[in-house]
Structure 1
């Protein structure tokens, strides 16, 4: 259907489709954060002495863990919720008119709860290892980290639009989860040494809450939301022809709800 903007109807909040979509976002985000943060803790357990920085090999392993797990997470929920697994992706699709405000709020709550649940389980399963989360490394300013998050999340959400939303995507839709996983892994190789390369407020929030590490945390909300929103607006209004009727990443609730 064409893009349109809506707050969402009251009965959408209790409709089974909304519940299924929110549940799928919760589980998918749990899968992604568990593997992503878990890879950081695992490498710390195996290799890292206290106070040393991430090595090149560890960075590659972390990037691969995030790429693989996001590919799996998006694949598990793409046909149910649209495969957002990220509040910034949801924000981009909201600004693009692909999802109602009410559905977006449902997704945000599910994504944040999924991230917190995954980190809690990790802390329990690793004998109370404190989650690492994200922070700007020494010698890198907060504004530099903010710019990195904006640019990296722009690339992520632009990739989501190009492979999962664009009506001209054709066969690209089948590789959307793979492309989304690849861009996250590639961006971690770029931004990891500087600010950890979150690109996902939920991915940052879960470890920050459970590990109680809030240093520079605002960057991992403002940056991804700005980058994701900008990508959604640019792709919607400068790339997708307005006259084409097309399928959406996550449709608004049907009119007969």
Structure 2
């Protein structure tokens, strides 16, 4: 069974933690900048909705894969509080450091969205809201399912020490599942899978409709996926935290 490590607030003074937080801010910033920017582009161009959905999904898939690769060696390239809680549930990052990561990711999201608003002449940052006819429970379940598949992929391709031939493909495959989930869930819940991805646009735009859904769904889905994969599928050869100097 996964063993959750609490950690201490003294971690913030450690050089490896400081480096990880700086890198996590950078990669999350560029992820949000490209992801939200692609959504703003589709609204500005006002093209076909299907083409717009594919464009946004592709942009997210590409930037997720690249930014995970860029940050993996130092911070793990989480980009997402749901990924962080999933790894925390598996004992790969302490609870305290997870809180630092969350703050970092949220600040990066707000900074990216504020910059986008400025650079685009005040265009509204598109926020995640539920589609007409979808209630809150349906939205939460949709986000749980989508985020579970994301974190399950992270574990299978990046965390599991027996990933085998998938070694090195984790960032790309994680990006692809993000893109696929946006195609599947985008028209319904927005397919956030990431509280930071939803928080920045909501704060900058000042629109909080259904916002709680994009915290509850992803965090529940991410935590469940991390706990289940670590408990039932990861073969333990040593203590998990001993391998986490680079994030996973």
TM-score (ref. length: structure 2): 0.94
Is contact 1:116-1:210 (8 Å) kept? yes
Q: Distance in 1 between matches of 2:173 and 2:241?
A: 18
1:158: how far off? 0.3
Cross-structure match for 1:12: 11
Answer yes or no: is 1:237 the counterpart of 2:231: yes
Is the 1:99–1:252 Cα contact (8 Å) retained in structure 2?
no
Any conservation in 1 of the 2:144–2:221 contact (CA below 8 Å)?
yes
Alignment gaps of 5+ in structure 2: none
- Structure 2 CA distance for partners of 1:215 and 1:250, relative to 1, 3 Å: farther
1:163 to 157, 161, 173: 157
Question: Are positions 1:31 and 2:11 aligned together?
Answer: no
Corresponding residue to 2:194 among 177, 193, 200: 200
Q: Which residue is 1:64 aligned to?
A: 58
Deviations 1:176-199 (A, max 9, x none): 100110000000000001011000
Q: Is the 8 A contact 2:3 2:89 kept in 1?
A: no
TM-score (norm 1): 0.91
Distance 1:183 1:73, change over 3 A: same
Tell me, in whole angstroms, the C-alpha distance in 2 between the residues paired with 1:10 and 1:156. 29
Counterpart for residue 21 of structure 1:
20
Q: Which residue does 2:69 correspond to in 1?
A: 75
Assess, with a 3 A threshold, how the Cα gap between structure 1 residues 59 and 10 changes in structure 2: closer, same or farther: closer
User: Are 1:81 and 1:250, in contact at CA under 8 Å, matched by a contact in 2?
Assistant: no
How far apart are residue 13 of structure 1 and its match? 1.4
Equivalent pair of 2:30/2:112 in contact (CA under 8 Å): yes
Once residues 67 and 42 of structure 2 are traced to their aligned partners in structure 1, the CA distance between those partners, rounded to angstroms, is 22
CA distance in 2: counterparts of 1:239 and 1:3, whole angstroms: 11
- Find out whether 1:41 has 2:18 as its counterpart: no
RMSD: 1.9
Rounded Cα–Cα distance in structure 2 between residues aligned with 1:58 and 1:27 = 27
Size of the alignment, in residue pairs?
Answer: 246
Closer/same/farther in 2, CA of residues 94 and 38 from structure 1, 3 Å limit: same
In the alignment, which residue of structure 1 is the partner of 2:111?
117
Unaligned runs of 5+ in 1: 49-53
Change (3 A) 1:181 1:248: farther
Moved over 4 A (4+): 246-250
Structure 1 residue 10: deviation in Å?
Answer: 4.3
Structure 1 SS opposite 2:77? coil
Alignment check: 8 A CA contact 1:13 1:102 kept: no
Q: Which deviates more, 18-27 or 168-177?
A: 168-177
